[in-house]
Amino acid sequence: MPLTTFLSYIQQFGAEQFALYNYQNYLEVIILSLCTYKVLCWLQSDHTKPMILYVYLYSGLMIFSQLINAITLFWVLIICSPIAAIICVIAHQKNIQKYFAWKNLHRFENSTLPDQQWIENLTRSILLAAHHKKNIFCIIQKKDYILHFIQAPYKMELPIQKNVLDLILASPLIENPSIILVTEFGTLQYVNAIWSDKILEYMMIFAEHDSLQHCKEAANILSRRTDAIIWHINPNNQECSIWYQDTYIKNISVDQTLTLLKKLIPKSTTISKNIEGTIYENKPTRNDTTSPHN
């Protein structure tokens, strides 16, 4: 079938079924579809409340009213849609403000850049803490906003440098188990964090379970609802557990965990709009001696 014949069939079908008579109409549909897709993706990133479910329900009700020829209901929904959007924004204004504020927090200067091998330094420090019988749960925050899932008394905003994290985790003020939050750019944000009431609502364990079991269950929930990476080293056998993208891997070595973290975290991050100065690319060398056991 020639291409012109196929395009004519598409044009005839669009004109008969969707009242699309020229290419300008198709262009308008494509632009509106892309805008709608972007808005839905943004709504889906809000993990505090299922806002996107209300949008699907409202849209589905509009489509259903059109199919059953409920003209009055259809036009009422059309007219009230701006009011529903405003109510939705007002109900989520605090989370929306936090989302946009978090997007502007990743600002680096030359004096505040993390170490080039911050993943190796982070792994080494947590392994050293495990040798001292400390259970450290490390959360690596990526694109999703997750600060509403944890509460922390100490905010650091400290770039991970060699031996600096060792001093922090060796402090007697570090809880056991302890939760630390690190950004995907290598900045230590919070230590001694605890899980907020928002994530406790999804837990299926009982109160007699110890806090270590609470952390494992919370890590499983967080990996299902966000793109964060959570990992932990067992002080008894130095084996690791890692949670990411609704995946749970346990009883793996530290070196395997380090290799997996390097795959999950981009080697170079382009954030030129938020950077003053230069940022490196984390490129491995031929003589790589960055194993956390060294």
97 and 145 belong to one structural domain: no
pLDDT (tens digit, 9 = 90+) per residue, 225-254? 888 999 999 988 888 999 988 889 888 998
Indicate whether 42 belongs to any domain.
Answer: yes
Q: What is the pLDDT of residues 69-121, one digit of tens each?
A: 888 888 888 888 888 888 777 776 666 665 555 555 545 444 456 667 888 88
Q: Is residue 289 part of a domain?
A: no
Distance CA 168, CA 190 (A): 11
Q: CA torsion, points 113, 118, 124, 126, in degrees to nearest 10?
A: 70
Range list of H helices, the chain: 3-18, 23-44, 51-67, 71-91, 93-103, 118-131, 164-169, 197-200, 211-225, 254-264
Domain that holds residue 217: 110-274
pLDDT at 202: 72
Q: Which of 102, 134, 168 is the last residue of a domain?
A: 102
Q: Which two tokens stand for residue 271?
A: 């954030």
CB contact at 8 A, 146 and 226:
yes
Task: Write down the pTM of the prediction.
Answer: 0.59
pLDDT for 138 equals 92
Regions of the chain short of the pLDDT cut 50: 106, 108-111, 207-209, 268-290
AA identity, residue 56: Y
The contacts of residue 258 (CB under 8 Å, 6+ apart) are: 119, 120, 123, 291, 292
Same-domain check for residues 172 and 28: no
Q: Look at residue 281 in the predicted model and tell me its pLDDT.
A: 35
- Is residue 132 one of the residues assigned to a domain? yes
- Provide the pLDDT for residue 47: 59
Question: 91 with 127, same domain?
Answer: no
Calpha distance 224→247 (Å, rounded)? 8
Cα 200 to Cα 49, 148, 227, distances in angstroms = 14, 12, 18
Same domain, 139 and 270: yes
Whole-number pLDDT of residue 62: 85
Measured distance CA(81)–CA(65) in Å, rounded: 14
